[in-house]
Amino acid sequence: MSMSAGNAKYKFQLIDMENNKLIGDQDLNVAHEKKLHLIIYDPSLQEFQHVHPEFDGTMWVVDTQFSVDGNYWIWAQGELAADGEEFSTSNRLDITGGATAWPTPLFLEISAPEHLACRQLSLAKTSSLRARWQCSISR
């Protein structure tokens, strides 16, 4: 998925892969003071956003701001109310039309994403297979 730099509402759905059901806010526990955490960063780790989407009944919606190009990582993290399982799931978002992308140090490309996301929220046991994405973008 790609979009042009600027301000945008990022909308997405999370689906529980165990029962193929949409994950809404009633399906999540509050963890780290919020139901759902979104960690967004570029491969160089120069650009970073930590935001909290709201569920509108159909989709999770959050305001984002991108000024620099890059193939960003987006991690969603939450805790399922049904069984207390913490999950994290990631997606990529390609930003174009903004400032030139930061150069990426080679060692970061190899080792960064999971480590960074876990450190930010200090989540110990996460399952990255539990939820998957469907997303769209609107301005």
Summarize as ranges the residues that interact with Cu ion (CB under 5 A): 34, 37
Residue closer to Cu ion, measured from CB, 69 or 78: 78
Compute the least distance from the CB of residue 29 to Cu ion, in Å: 14
Neighbours of 58 (CB within 10 A): 10
Residue closer to Cu ion, measured from CB, 60 or 69: 60
Q: Do the bridges between strand 48-51 and strand 54-55 make them parallel or antiparallel, or are there none, so unpaired?
A: unpaired
Compute the least distance from the CB of residue 25 to Cu ion, in Å: 14
Compute the least distance from the CB of residue 116 to Cu ion, in Å: 14
Residue closer to Cu ion, measured from CB, 5 or 51: 51
Of 88, 90, 66, the closest CA to residue 79 belongs to 88
What are the distances in angstroms from CA 22 to CA 15, 32, 114, 121, 139? 4, 22, 24, 23, 24
Residue closer to Cu ion, measured from CB, 76 or 93: 76
Question: In the complex, which residue's CB is closest to Cu ion?
Answer: 37
The kind and range of the H/E element at 115 are helix 106-121
